[in-house]
Amino acid sequence: MALPVPPAPPPPPLVSSNRYVGAKHKAVVVMGATGTGKSRLAVDLALQFGGEVINADKIQLHAGLDVATNKVTEEECAGVPHHLLGVAHPDDEFTAADFRREASRAAGAITSRGRLPIIAGGSNSYIEELVEGDRRAFRERHDCCFLWVDVQLPVLHGYVARRVDDMCARGLVDEIAAAFDPRRTDYSRGIWRAIGAPELDAYLRCSGGDEGERARLLAAAIEDIKSNTRRLSCRQRAKIQRLAKLWRIQRVDATEVFRRRGDAADEAWQRLVAAPCIDAVRSFLYNDDAAADDLPPEVPVFAPTPAAAVAV
């Protein structure tokens, strides 16, 4: 059972004063490789500060394949509104420019309600386009607090392999089989780019073949899913490291969380990830000093926060 986040303080000021550009709204951006807990942290922060989440995962933007794309469940959302989740047709292209336009619109609607936009997802090209595209229009309207949930790659790779096994137990293969179209040969568009769909193609085309051969193809497909997920995590992490040279990104090391199981993992998440990130966002919202554009780029590592210091 996940530990609850501390009680929320009174709503913070969501408009800041910047000496260069005047009044700005505030936004939080949660980054990280696949499987690091971005969605969980976004929900923790939204519950704490009265926020709403804007999905920044290019595959999760599409409707369908909920298991394969690891969309947050209704239970995981914990009542927090989520935007740009499952809104595009499975076959549609949704470009980075499309994301910038729709995410900017969603952020504007969220701030108009006096709530905090929290952009969370692993598609860093989308996040970069939102922040830097259209002559940096989003940054002209929003001060941004960038958080990076990081996990040492060997530990993360072991976790994502177990997660693939869990996804298979939750119906990954059956889900993709139900959507399979033997006429489809292009897995480069829309939701069909999701890891799992192209890897299972050969297995699904062998539906009437020898059972031993089908078992071999399925095992190979699952191994490819794990391997391609590991490669994706490496690419995502490298992209965040590049963006850290452009922006002030605050990094939190969640490695210890992923070395643990059950209640011990939940306790570590609260102490090592949720609590320091809540502190960082509180400072950003109240003190107006966490995301000033004129600060030099840096990637500070949070020190563990004692449990006694969590409550406010």
Q: Mark residue 196 as left, alpha or beta (left: phi above 0; alpha: psi -120 to 50; beta: remaining).
A: left
Q: What pLDDT was estimated at residue 15? A: 56
Q: What pLDDT was estimated at residue 297? A: 41
Q: What pLDDT was estimated at residue 18? A: 43
Residue 310 has pLDDT above 50, yes or no: no
SS3 282: helix
Higher pLDDT, 289 or 91: 91
Class of domain 16-153+244-309: alpha beta
- As a whole number, mean pLDDT of residues 260-265 equals 95
- Report the Cα 123 to chain-centroid distance in Å: 8
194 neighbors 66 (Cβ within 8 angstroms): no
- Scored b (16 or more CB within 10 A) or e, 179-193 reads beeeeeeeeeebbbe
Does pTM top 0.95 for this prediction? no
What is the C-alpha end-to-end distance of the chain, expressed in Å? 22
Q: How confident is the model at residue 306 (pLDDT cuts 50, 70, 90)?
A: very low
The mean of the pLDDT values for the chain is 88
Cα–Cα distance for residue pair 75/167, rounded to 1 Å: 17
- Tell me the β-bridge partners of 25: 15, 142
121 neighbors 94 (Cβ within 8 angstroms): no
Read off the pLDDT of residues 3-48 as tens digits, 9 standing for 90 and up.
444 444 445 556 554 443 457 999 999 999 999 999 999 999 999 9
Side chain identity at residue 56, one-letter code: A
Residues 6+ apart with CB under 8 A from 246: 132, 297
Say if residue 6 is exposed, middle or buried (CB neighbours under 10 Å; 0-12, 13-18, 19+). Answer: middle
Side chain identity at residue 39, one-letter code: S
Cα–Cα distance for residue pair 83/87, rounded to 1 Å: 8
Multiple choice CATH, 157-230, 3.30.360.10, 2.30.30.90, 1.10.287.890, 1.10.10.10: 1.10.287.890
Q: What pLDDT was estimated at residue 124? A: 97
Read off the pLDDT of residues 157-196 as tens digits, 9 standing for 90 and up.
999 999 999 999 999 999 999 999 999 999 999 999 999 9
Residue 54 has pLDDT above 60, yes or no: yes
Report how many helices (DSSP H) and strands (DSSP E) the chain contains, helices first.
11, 7
Cα–Cα distance for residue pair 102/133, rounded to 1 Å: 13
Query: In the chain, what are the domain boundaries?
Result: 16-153+244-309, 157-230
Q: What does 13-57 look like in DSSP terms, one character per residue? A: P-EEEETTTEEEEEEEEEE-STTS-HHHHHHHHHHHHTEEEEE--
Dihedral, 36, 272, 124, 126 alpha carbons, nearest 10: 100
Site of tokens 């690419």: 235
Distances (CA, A) of 246 to 94, 97, 126, 241, 283: 25, 20, 15, 9, 21
